[in-house]
Amino acid sequence: MTRQETRLKVFAAAIELMAEQGYTATTVEAIAERAGVAKGTVFYNFGSKEQLFAQLLDYGIGLLADAMGEAGDLDTAVLAQLEFFARYGPFARVLLAEMWRTAWQDAVTALRTRVISVYERHVPGGVAPTAVFGMVLTVSIERKVLQPGRSIEEVHAELMDLLRGRITS
């Protein structure tokens, strides 16, 4: 197994555990066990739990930025975010619950410059781009947890109706 494959296994284990029980309750031992690697492998690849989480946030934000990157309009940006969080549900839950701590300010800055900036191209300035991102994030989690039978297309259509009526008119 390559180092990159090992890192991805650790990322997957860490995000699942943190989504289930939170950052604070998740231990390096549990991450290593879930990933099927030695505890020392986690430390070798990341240095510490804090560095692991910081790199995990950076990796996930990069994936999200890539997914949303070329959105030509608000409609495609919202759909890209919904689809991303449907695929990476545990990341969505961790992002909502853990990322806003002051310890992760670099990740918040990266989120703003790489992801929320996509919305800045399509909605009026101020807090609106962040509000749209947060709304789509929250609705994505709600759909996954409380309305799993609801299609992304249906949720997307409802969000776009709301956005067109409240933000862009």
Q: Would you state the torsion angle of the CA atoms of residues 41, 42, 48, 52, taken in this order, to the nearest 10 degrees?
A: 140
Interval 64-92: pLDDT, tens: 999 998 888 999 999 999 999 999 989 88
Q: Nearest CA to 89 among 163, 29, 18, 32? A: 18
Q: What is the pTM of this model?
A: 0.86
Calpha distance 160→78 (Å, rounded): 8
